[in-house]
């Protein structure tokens, strides 16, 4: 297979693939994803609709449509497309993870937790699902469970900054201040932008 030298060449190749087989949903999906990479949302969106029309089980296309909705701030649209994704393929972990994320944004914590548990059951290495689940636990006051979920994320990827930041919050809540400071510093070292009010609280617990 010929490899593209850059994004524009790859897009040209995908356009040619669509032109030679206009009924192929996968080719349209591949072209749409390449366009999304260049933030050409308006051009990618109709291709994704055509992709799922040609191939209704293409769960990835529904997820991408959900991503476009999220880009526009449309949480309900994002939720709907990810629900379609898991209806088209029940074991699609990414769809369940996105459902959990959106439900948490909407304040539906128990629904979020259920979806995130499903995401993890289908993909035990789904780091983002663990950190989102950790947030859901923390919102319910389940500090120990939140810490455990973040530790699981770090067992998969030790340098995942969000998990370190989440752990700093969990340890703050648990009054384990030395650990809170340690994980906050690690999150910052890895490039996480800690909110000023949290940074101030952490600094207040540093050993003199």
Tens-place pLDDT, residues 19-47: 888 888 888 998 899 899 888 999 999 99
Range list for CATH 1.25.40.10 in the chain:
59-124, 126-208
Gap between the Cα atoms of 9 and 18, Å rounded: 14
What does pTM read for this prediction? Answer: 0.89
4 has a pLDDT exceeding 70: no
Gap between the Cα atoms of 133 and 145, Å rounded: 9
Gap between the Cα atoms of 26 and 50, Å rounded: 10
What's the fold here for domain 59-124? 1.25.40
Tens-place pLDDT, residues 145-201: 999 999 999 999 999 999 999 999 999 999 999 999 999 999 999 999 999 999 999
Helix 59-71 crosses helix 93-105 at what angle (to 10 degrees)? 20
Tokens encoding 9: 């060449």
In sequence order, the 6+-apart residues with CB closer than 8 A to the CB of 77 are 66, 69
Question: In the chain, what is the greatest distance between 2 CA atoms, to the nearest angstrom?
Answer: 69
77 has a pLDDT exceeding 90: yes
Tokens encoding 72: 């526009």
In sequence order, the 6+-apart residues with CB closer than 8 A to the CB of 49 are 65
Q: Which CATH architecture has domain 126-208?
A: Alpha Horseshoe (1.25)
What's the fold here for domain 1-55? 1.25.40
Tens-place pLDDT, residues 101-111: 999 999 999 99
């Amino acid at each position: 297979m010929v490899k593209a030298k850059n994004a524009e060449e790859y897009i040209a190749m995908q356009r040619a693939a669509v032109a030679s087989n206009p009924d192929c949903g996968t080719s349209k999906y591949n072209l749409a994803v390449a366009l999304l990479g260049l933030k050409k949302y308006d051009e990618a969106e109709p291709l994704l609709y055509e992709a799922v029309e040609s191939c209704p089980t293409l769960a990835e296309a529904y997820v991408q449509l959900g991503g476009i909705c999220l880009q526009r701030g449309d949480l309900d649209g994002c939720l709907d497309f990810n629900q379609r994704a898991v209806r088209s393929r029940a074991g699609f972990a990414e769809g369940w993870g996105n459902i959990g994320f959106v439900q948490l944004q909407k304040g539906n914590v128990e629904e979020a937790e259920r979806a995130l548990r499903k995401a993890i059951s289908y993909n035990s290495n789904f780091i983002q699902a663990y950190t989102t689940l950790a947030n859901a636990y923390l919102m319910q006051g389940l500090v120990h469970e939140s810490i455990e979920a973040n530790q699981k994320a770090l067992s998969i990827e030790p340098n995942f900054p969000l998990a370190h930041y989440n752990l700093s919050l969990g340890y703050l809540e648990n009054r384990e201040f030395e650990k809170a400071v340690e994980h906050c510093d690690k999150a910052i070292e890895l490039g996480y932008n800690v909110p000023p009010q949290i940074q101030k609280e952490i600094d207040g617990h540093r050993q003199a």
